[in-house]
Structures are given as structure tokens and as C-alpha cells.
Structure 1
Amino acid sequence: MFQNSFSVGHVASIVVTLLSGAAVMFLRLRASNRPTNMRKIIIPPLGMSTGFLMFVVPETHVPWTWALIAFAAGATVFAYPLIRTSKLERVGGEIVLKRSKMFVFILLGLLIVRLLVHDAVESKVSIPQTGALFFVLAFGMIVVWRIAMLREFMALQRGAGKEIS
């Protein structure tokens, strides 16, 4: 039915990735311009860290150097656009996340890069290892982005005294 390297599983993977990406964009945009607090900044990477349990399964094991490279790529290359397009601002007595109009395009660009790089990685390692590497990359991106947000939140909070919780 499909020619070349496209299989039903491959097409299904792309569709699921696109749907997941659209859901993430929708949720991120909904969170814009709403009051935030320290818990809302810290919880996502903590919740995501449970994903490291996947490494209990031997099929997901990758060399440490690969994992470090994936984490570093997420923490530098992929976190940077998110940090640059997410700013916290004081609005009245609350701190809200203000997103740049470019934020949607940044997320869309990251999704496209992920789809393109995914095929290259998947051609070299197994599907579970590919998932593990992309999880580590995403974790590096989220942790660095949220640390930057936390630093900005704490600076705004210090500047306003004890008004914000």
C-alpha cells in the first residue's frame, strides 16, 4: 500500500505526534495570560521525571553519552526559543505568563524538527531507544525552560514583597 520507507506504523506515529503536538500547543496557549505560582512552574518537570522509569526496561537502554547529548541538545538548542518567547509579568497583584506571538510558531518549528530528526534517529536505533532519547531531550528542554521561569518568578516575587504566593 505505502511505497518507500512508509509503513502503516510509520504514518500512525506521525499522526499521533502531530495530534500530540496540537494538544500541547492548545494547552500552552490556554495557560497564557493566567496567574501562575511556583507550584505550576515546578510540577511539570517533576511529573515528567517519572518517565525515567522506562529505563527499567532493557530495550530502552542507550549509551550514557547518547543520553547526555540528547539532554544537552534539549537544554540548549530546544529550550532557548521557549525561554525567549515566555516572559512572566506582574499584572496587579499576580504574576502571569505572557507569551510572544511567535510562541506558536516556535512550538510548531520544534515539532517539525522533532519529526525530521526522529526518522534519522529511528533508522539507527530501535523504536524504544528512539523514544528514550527523545524523552531525555524533552526533559532537558523542559527542565531548563522551567528553571528560567522559576528564576524570573522569584525575581518578580522578591520585587513585590509578600503579595504573591
Structure 2
Amino acid sequence: MAGSLFSMHGLSILATILGGSAVIFLRLRATNKPTNMKKIIMPPIGMVSGFLMFVVPEFRVPLTWALVSFLVGAILFSYPLILTSRFEQKNEQIYLRRSNMFIFVIVGLLVLRVILHDVLEQYITVPQSAGLFFILAFGMLLPWRVAMLMQYRKLQHANVRV
């Protein structure tokens, strides 16, 4: 049993590191291409299907835990991402401006997530922990993307008036 828990824990940390690396890679790549509304809103829409994990009883958590997890993501974790996401216009196109701080923010969030993951797994199961961190990630992503969309639309409207 202990071996299977360690392997689940190791896989969880590996998934966190791979996911964070993918976010950094995709974000850096996105700064080389113009953006549009679809590129901004698709990540949270795509994540919605992940809530199907809660169909499986092992992933279920009390509603209050889910709400707290969402609020922690929305209030604490999305804020640094919102601060490091800016757009700029180049040649009539809108680009996401590259921010070196973004990489530090993502790495910091990943480290914090691994630490919190270790603490939580002393009290709840690995699948429940995975579910809570999924909700936290969605809570982080949704306000961040809404803020990006608002910035994008503001810049888009400012360019129309000029």
C-alpha cells in the first residue's frame, strides 16, 4: 500500500511540474503570435470537461472545500498572473507582452502547490487532493482570463477609435 501511495504522490508532483512547464512554454510561445479573443477564452472553456472527474466517487469533496479551493485560486493565485499579463499593439495586431516575472510567478505557484499538496495529503486522499487542486487551478485561470479579455477588448476598442 505504501508503495502505491508513493507512486501516486510522485505522479502527482510530476504532473504538476509538467503542467507548469507546459504553461510556461505555451505562454512564451504565445508572445510571438498575435492573440485574439478565442485564444483568451478557450483555456477555461476547455478545462470545464475536467469537472467530470467528480463523477467518480473517490474524487468528490465537500462543497465547502470546493468553494474554498476555488476562492483561494481566484483571490490569491490569479492576482500575480493578472499583474504579469499585459498586451501591446504591433503592426495593427495585439500581442501578449512577454514578462520575465511571469516565469517566476508560475514557478512560485508550483512550489507552493507542491508544499500545500504534501500538507493536504496527510488529511485527505490523493484523488480528493487532485480534485481540489483542479478546482484551485480553475479558480486561478478564470479570473486571470477574464482580466486578460477585458484588457484585450479595451486595447481593441482604443485602436478602433484612433
TM-score, normalised with respect to structure 1: 0.89
Q: Equivalent residue of 1:86, what SS?
A: coil
Letter in 2 for 1:119: D
Q: Does 1:35 align with 2:40?
A: no
Q: What is aligned with 2:91?
A: 92
Q: What is aligned with 1:138?
A: 137
Shift of 1:162: 8.5
Letter in 2 for 1:55: F
Looking at structure 1, the residues matched to 10 and 54 of structure 2 have their Cα atoms a distance apart, in angstroms, of 26
Matches within 5 A, 1:18-57: 18-57=17-56
Q: What is aligned with 2:67?
A: 68
Letter in 2 for 1:95: I
Looking at structure 2, the residues matched to 87 and 99 of structure 1 have their Cα atoms a distance apart, in angstroms, of 8
Looking at structure 1, the residues matched to 148 and 62 of structure 2 have their Cα atoms a distance apart, in angstroms, of 31
Which runs of 5 or more residues in structure 1 are unaligned? Answer: none
Looking at structure 1, the residues matched to 12 and 55 of structure 2 have their Cα atoms a distance apart, in angstroms, of 23
Looking at structure 2, the residues matched to 55 and 148 of structure 1 have their Cα atoms a distance apart, in angstroms, of 28
Shift of 1:43: 0.6
Which runs of 5 or more residues in structure 2 are unaligned? Answer: none
Letter in 2 for 1:113: L
- Give the direction of change, closer, same or farther, for the CA distance of 1:123–1:153 in structure 2 (3 Å limit): same
Q: Report the structure, 1 or 2, having the larger helix content.
A: 2
State percent identity of aligned pairs: 52
Of residues 137-146 and 90-99 in structure 1, the stretch that sits farther from structure 2 once superposed is 90-99
Of residues 90-99 and 103-112 in structure 1, the stretch that sits farther from structure 2 once superposed is 90-99
Looking at structure 2, the residues matched to 84 and 99 of structure 1 have their Cα atoms a distance apart, in angstroms, of 12
Looking at structure 2, the residues matched to 9 and 128 of structure 1 have their Cα atoms a distance apart, in angstroms, of 9
User: Which string of whole-angstrom CA distances, capped at 9 and with x for unpartnered residues, describes residues 1-42 of structure 1?
Assistant: x9xxx9344334323422332222112211124210000001
Q: How many residues of Structure 1 are paired with residues of Structure 2 in the alignment?
A: 159
Looking at structure 2, the residues matched to 142 and 23 of structure 1 have their Cα atoms a distance apart, in angstroms, of 14
Q: Equivalent residue of 2:33, what SS?
A: coil
User: Which string of whole-angstrom CA distances, capped at 9 and with x for unpartnered residues, describes residues 81-116 of structure 1?
Assistant: 100001011112111101321111111001100100
Q: What is aligned with 2:111?
A: 112
Letter in 1 for 2:112: V
Looking at structure 2, the residues matched to 56 and 161 of structure 1 have their Cα atoms a distance apart, in angstroms, of 46
